[in-house]
């Protein structure tokens, strides 16, 4: 009997600990208000751009499921043409002819290869959240050091867009589409020591791991080691 009671108490404690490790990446407020959490904005600086010419390298039209139209612009400072490497400096989101977000990241932005385990080299990932909202994932340039590339997550709803995540992230598991999920690490020291880039069990075991996934109209987050 004592063993049974102990097991029930243990499982209850473990369930409580598990619940504490899973949380919303952001919060909804009212009809389409988006509330970011400072803990997920470790690289956020969004400083003013220098007083130099600004150029648009690429534009993408995206739509929410209810038909709202948005224009995503990848832009650069000073250089009229995008570099051969395909990197850019900052991005903007426009809705009904109005800029609703301009974001200047911590580092240089790039395509999404480090967020998708090389499954895609598009310039962002779009994850639908509800009929009128979606998330956009933008990836940073990888400099080959111990820190993973920058990853930025923006939530868009109606005439609002807000950055809810800006931190280091290098994915080792990725599921696209409606059942979107991403597992990643923020420390990749030693990953490129050999010719084959491989997330081995021993490599992952020694590092903190994180997961972001879609659940209804929300992005969920957890971390573990």
pLDDT at 191: 81
Q: What is the pLDDT along the chain (225 residues), one digit of tens a residue?
A: 445 444 444 444 444 344 448 999 999 998 889 999 999 999 988 778 888 899 999 999 999 999 999 999 999 998 999 999 999 999 999 999 999 999 999 999 999 999 999 999 999 999 999 999 999 999 999 987 778 999 999 999 999 999 999 999 999 999 999 899 999 999 998 787 666 678 888 889 989 999 999 999 999 999 999
pLDDT at 9: 43
The label of the residue with tokens 């969920």 reads 220
Query: 3-class secondary structure for 39-64?
Result: HHCCCCCCCCCCCCCEEEEEEEEEEC
Answer for the pair 182, 211: CB distance below 8 angstroms, yes or no: yes
pLDDT at 109: 97
pLDDT at 194: 64
- Taking only Cα atoms into account, the Rg of the chain, rounded to an integer number of angstroms, comes to 19
* Widest distance between CA atoms in the chain: 75
């Amino acid at each position: 009997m004592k063993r049974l009671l102990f097991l029930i108490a243990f499982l209850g404690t473990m369930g409580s600990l598990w619940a504490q490790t899973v949380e919303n990446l952001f919060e909804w407020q009212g009809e389409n208000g988006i509330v970011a959490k400072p803990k997920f904005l470790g690289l956020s600086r969004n400083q003013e751009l220098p007083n130099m010419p600004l150029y648009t390298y690429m534009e993408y039209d995206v739509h929410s499921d209810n038909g709202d139209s948005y224009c995503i612009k990848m832009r650069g400072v000073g250089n009229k043409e995008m570099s051969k490497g395909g990197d850019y400096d900052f991005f903007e989101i426009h809705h009904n002819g109005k800029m609703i977000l301009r974001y200047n990241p911590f580092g240089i932005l790039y395509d999404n290869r480090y967020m998708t385990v090389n499954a895609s080299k598009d310039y962002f990932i779009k994850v639908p959240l509800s009929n009128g909202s979606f998330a956009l994932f933008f990836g940073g340039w990888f400099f080959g050091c111990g820190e993973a590339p920058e990853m930025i997550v923006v939530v868009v709803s109606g005439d609002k867009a807000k950055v809810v995540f800006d931190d280091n992230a290098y994915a080792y598991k990725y599921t696209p589409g409606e059942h979107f999920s991403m597992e990643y690490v923020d420390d990749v020291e030693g990953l490129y020591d050999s010719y084959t880039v491989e997330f081995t069990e021993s490599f992952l075991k020694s590092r903190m791991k994180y997961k972001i996934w879609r659940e209804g109209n929300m992005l969920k987050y957890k971390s573990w080691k």
